[in-house]
Structure 1
Amino acid sequence: MSGINLPTIPADISFEDFVNLVARVLKELQWFTEGNIDNINVRNLKAEKINTGTLNANLVKISAANGSKSFTLDTNGIVANNGTADTLKFDLATGLLTIVSALIQSATGFPKVEINNSTNLLGIYQTISESIRVDPAGTSGNPVLSFFSGGQRKGFMQYLSPDILLATLVGGASITLSSGATLNLGATNLINMSCSNIRINNQNAYNNSFSYVKNVAAGVPTFGTITVTNGIITNVT
């Protein structure tokens, strides 16, 4: 049975035939109410609300009234479009999910991780004013990692080919190695310092002499001396 067939009622129908006719119509209606509707009977469906357990379709597309925005689900995957560009793509074949922006946060809003598509920024926030932000382009076209506290940018690390710049933006602030930490440089590397208030072990390093470990044999260190005059190493023994 593909469609409902409503019979005509003759003018001279008998009561018995009328009862049989009503029974036949009720049977047809029961068939429809039990969900036996196929594509022969439905060409266009308009509904305010559809409740279903399973929806089988090759293509599901939800569009805005003017068609400018859409959400599409088909055998290839899922695509969301804001009317200008695809803002989300999920490829069923590869499992690759592509999104232009994202926000992952706790129930209270912070901490959170945000990918901002308008600023091309990756931000990690403890609060709105305490954060670390990564800008792949930076202000000069070079990647930069910035540190914010109190809502203000306090320092940053930036690649300025061929160098990496580590800087503070607070007057009097220091870049400090933790206690017991070691700064290792290769044999051909240099430390260039342009200030006259250089201190090593809290001693003036602009004009002074310092001991250093020259060699270690059988666990016993041998010390040498470095002499600095006007910020220049003038003697090493």
Structure 2
Amino acid sequence: MKFGILVFPGSNCDRDVATVTSGILRQPTRLIWHTETDISDCDTIIVPGGFSYGDYLRCGAIARFAPVMRSLQEHAVKGKYIIGICNGFQILTESGLLPGALVRNRDLHFICDRVPLRVERNDLVFTEKYQQQQIIALPIAHGEGCYFANADTLKELEDQNQIVFRYCDAIGNINDESNPNGSLANIAGICNKQGNVLGMMPHPERAVEGILGGTDGKALFAGLMEGLGGSLVNA
């Protein structure tokens, strides 16, 4: 399989992701500049974290107009896989590939931490290597990570089983105390109705090696690769 990683002016996690996909997973990987329009050679596109266009106007608001975004929309319609991480999640919501929005954290502070998450569904290619309701720990680093949506959208997310990860405490309880940024319903990650587009604020690419403090993010990539006929054997 081949990964494509979008790169916008201000992206700063693109090399982190490439270190995982190319270095650790040993899969073909291409960095895709935001002005490109042909991404048809890639099986999975990752929209990485950072501060695209300096987060001017609103996080992801300018990136949505980049030439590559039309191709990303087509990539999703074809059923190919997309992962938006942190700023990538913000870009996916701004572009309409995922519902809702990411707004300023509840306490208006940038948060850099490692937090527990509960896996709400493990029937997606991204999560099939996790157990249902499994508690995992992933790093977060954001100032605008508070997930917001209107009541109808939240109900639809619940009804359509589109909530993939929630912030929780160490034993899986979902409450205000375990919510680092004020996200509605403790939402840390969601998918589209088809299940091929995933957006999440936590960084799985920063949790694939023990030296980084944990490997809970590696299962996400493992599931994706198996779903596309690859393998992590010898990786």
TM over 0.5: no
Provide the TM-score with structure 1 as the length reference: 0.19
Q: Which has the higher helix share?
A: 2
Q: Which has the higher contact order (CA 8 A, sep 6+)?
A: 2
Provide the TM-score with structure 2 as the length reference: 0.19
Larger Rg: 1
